[in-house]
Chains A and B, each alone.
Chain A
Amino acid sequence: MGELFAVEATTAAIVLRSLVVSGLATLLAVLVGVPIGYAIARRQFRGRTLLLGLINTGLGMPPVVVGLVVWVLLVRSGPFGDLGLIYTPAAMVLAQFLLATPMVIGFTIASVQALSPRLADLLTVLGAGRVRTLWLMAMEARLGLLVAIMAAFGAIVSEVGASMIVGGNLERSTRVLTTAIVTETSRGEVERALALGLMLLGLSFSVNLTLTIIQQRARP
């Protein structure tokens, strides 16, 4: 009986860790990606097309490659080894942040470009400062921006390669739903793996449902 509770507690911790790690990575990606996407959408500059090409490549970046690069940077003997971040949830947040940011940038560009090019001029002459203009533009583009958040969270909560490499799948500190599924499957615990799979789908569904409710409520 005690063992069963212990198992439940571990599973709950894994679900919570998945939510926190991917949620935090998404939040950081939004904070960084939305202003960058806005700037790219609004400005003309040399190398813009090249940058757009890079971002579009970033949309389909293999998580395992990103994980590998972050691992090379953070591993004890690597350039940022002294930070001691390798095999911690922070390293996983970093890797997932790198995966999510191009998505947020890409979706932001698309939704800002769909706005009238005169909207920013209008807000400026109405007396809105830079920050206020950015905020009002984001509110206008909110449908697209919420899609960006959903897509980014959905992608990183379900990736396994980067989390496995930089997190190390340590049972008590860095195991998340995806890496747990891999572990259970390799142990032959198929039923447990399937149960964890359902939990992952459930988590993804609840987060997306919440965002969808916000999106549809905000629908103009």
Chain B
Amino acid sequence: MTDVLLENLRVERERRPVLNVELLVLRSRRTTAILGPNGSGKTTLLRAIAGLERLHSGRISFDGAASIDKRDLAYVFQEQVFLRQSVRRNLELGLRLRAVHNQQIRERVEEAARSIGIFHLLDRRADRLSGGEARRVNLARALCLRAPLVLLDEPLEGLDVQAYAHLMDELPRILDAFEATTLLVTHSRDEALRFADDLVVLVNGRIYAAGDKHEIATNPRFSEVSEALGYTILTVAGRRCAVPPNAFRVGAGQVQFLMQVEAIIDSVDAKEIVGRIDDVRVRVRLEDGQEAPTTGNRIAVYAPRLHELETSP
């Protein structure tokens, strides 16, 4: 149950600003996804909140307090770092540092391990796990802390299909269960929309959108936000417009484009045409029964929905 408030926050590296946040409120008990391309400052934002970055200026407050007790924090790093000990000992460490009772440590570690699907790994050496196993242990170590503020840095990156699907379903439920304020860094639109209540779009260290996910995802005002959300940006009659992901269809429609076909991708359950409209790369899904066009040809495609973008601030 923690409100996090960031004001005029500035983090610099080698005298260059890497993060510049005027105002950001992370609301208590909600999950906020931070979406943005690589190098946009997402991890730096997380580290700043965790107190691992030196702030050039500005302040962060937690329910009005200037700092957060580390015991109220759970942080899943993007890198998998473990002590050269068993998985169990690694999961226990945070709880031991919080002076949790032994019996409770055991229960909480085993419960987290079960829900993440790593119970069978508890007695293995943590530094000898496979990439996917290490990812899940990393996540379980943070979750067994049951902290009121949870920071997740690309927690599902590099998982196999099965584990990914399992955690896509389980993680929101687990996070809900202990009513944490959660911050999820990701560059995946799907993960962001699936997990989050609120969205923050961060590009080049600046926030271009922050707020309710429905509002932002259905009406991104700026090209930076549209790109982060997988929109295709095109110029229509001299105006910059954004077409939602998977919205293009083959054929004639109200807003029609000429697409140069470059390749046909057959991924068994679907066929997609890859090509260009002007200089913009576009993918169009072929509907059942539609003939695949010949590579090199120009075909008509249309977007049933698109909206005009504002000039970026």
Interface residues of A (CB under 8 A from B): 116, 118-119, 121-122, 124-128, 132, 136, 139-140, 220
Which among A118, A126, A132 is the interface contact of B79 at CB below 8 angstroms?
A: A118
When C-beta atoms are compared, the residue in chain A nearest to B75 turns out to be A125
Assess whether B84 is in contact with A140, with CB atoms less than 8 Å apart: yes
Cα–Cα, bound, A197→B28 (Å): 72
B249 at the binding interface (Cβ < 8 Å): no
Which among B52, B79, B85 is the interface contact of A124 at CB below 8 angstroms?
A: B52
Distance between B183 CB and nearest chain A CB, rounded to angstroms: 13
Assess whether A119 is in contact with B81, with CB atoms less than 8 Å apart: yes
> What residues of chain A lie closer than 8 Å to B75, measured between beta carbons?
125
Assess whether B77 is in contact with A124, with CB atoms less than 8 Å apart: no
Cα–Cα, bound, A124→B93 (Å): 12
When C-beta atoms are compared, the residue in chain A nearest to B52 turns out to be A121
B129 at the binding interface (Cβ < 8 Å): no
Assess whether A121 is in contact with B77, with CB atoms less than 8 Å apart: yes
Which among A118, A125, A136 is the interface contact of B73 at CB below 8 angstroms?
A: A125
Number of residues of chain B lying within 8 A (CB) of chain A: 21
Cα–Cα, bound, A126→B144 (Å): 11
Which among B51, B52, B85, B93 is the interface contact of A126 at CB below 8 angstroms?
A: B93
Assess whether A126 is in contact with B81, with CB atoms less than 8 Å apart: no
Q: A121-B52, A125-B52, A127-B71 are contacts. A220–B84 as well, Cβ < 8 Å?
A: yes
> What residues of chain B lie closer than 8 Å to A128, measured between beta carbons?
97
Q: A140-B84, A220-B125 are contacts. A127–B79 as well, Cβ < 8 Å?
A: no
> What residues of chain A lie closer than 8 Å to B77, measured between beta carbons?
118, 121-122
Identify 14 residue pairs between A and B in the complex whose beta-carbon atoms are under 8 Å apart, listed by A's number.
A121-B47, A121-B52, A121-B77, A124-B51, A124-B52, A124-B70, A125-B70, A125-B73, A125-B75, A126-B97, A127-B94, A127-B98, A128-B97, A140-B83
Cα–Cα, bound, A111→B71 (Å): 29
Q: Which 5 A-B pairs have the closest CB atoms?
A: A220-B84, A127-B97, A126-B94, A125-B75, A127-B70
> What residues of chain B lie closer than 8 Å to A136, measured between beta carbons?
83
Q: A126-B97, A127-B71 are contacts. A116–B50 as well, Cβ < 8 Å?
A: no
Cα–Cα, bound, A89→B83 (Å): 41
When C-beta atoms are compared, the residue in chain A nearest to B97 turns out to be A127
Cα–Cα, bound, A126→B83 (Å): 12
B127 at the binding interface (Cβ < 8 Å): yes
Cα–Cα, bound, A122→B47 (Å): 11
When C-beta atoms are compared, the residue in chain A nearest to B71 turns out to be A127
Distance between A93 CB and nearest chain B CB, rounded to angstroms: 34
> What residues of chain A lie closer than 8 Å to B71, measured between beta carbons?
127
Cα–Cα, bound, A216→B52 (Å): 35
When C-beta atoms are compared, the residue in chain A nearest to B151 turns out to be A125
When C-beta atoms are compared, the residue in chain A nearest to B70 turns out to be A127
Assess whether B85 is in contact with A220, with CB atoms less than 8 Å apart: yes
Distance between A45 CB and nearest chain B CB, rounded to angstroms: 14
Cα–Cα, bound, A81→B203 (Å): 66
